[in-house]
Amino acid sequence: LTVVFIGDGAPAGSYGYTNSGYSVYEEENERLTESLRTKVSAIKSLSIEIGTEVKNQNKMLSEMDNDFESAGGLLGATMGRLRTLSRGSQTKLLCYMMLFSFFVFFVIYWIIKLR
């Protein structure tokens, strides 16, 4: 009785089993590799989208910062004028302005309340 070896040293009787076992592992590795490649591609595109969104949000925040700075400057100038007005003998005018402001706010509140 002689045993004949074929291929990579496997006996002739088990040659088909060995090849099919390796083939199953190779197919599973290929499938898992392709799945991993798909997931990496999805993560890459998602990270690119996140980067774009972050750039857009930073640009919008920068614009808002500039708007708030200009509004702060305008408010500071207005407060300076009010201080100048209150120091002078025009307190009567300041009281009228305050009453007018309260009246306008009350009317706006009343309109919003009715809606």
Domain of 81 in residue numbering reads as 29-114
Does residue 1 fall inside a structural domain? no
Quickly state the pLDDT bin for 2 (edges 50, 70, 90). low
Does residue 13 fall inside a structural domain? no
Does residue 64 fall inside a structural domain? yes
pLDDT tens for residues 53-110? 999 999 999 999 998 898 888 888 888 887 876 676 667 777 888 999 999 999 999 9
Does residue 17 fall inside a structural domain? no
Does residue 79 fall inside a structural domain? yes
Q: Of 4 and 69, which is predicted with more confidence?
A: 69
Does residue 87 fall inside a structural domain? yes
Does residue 77 fall inside a structural domain? yes
The encoded tokens of residue 80 equal 């300076």
Question: Count of domains in the chain?
Answer: 1
84 to 90, 95, 97, 100, 101: CA distances (angstroms): 10, 14, 14, 19, 18
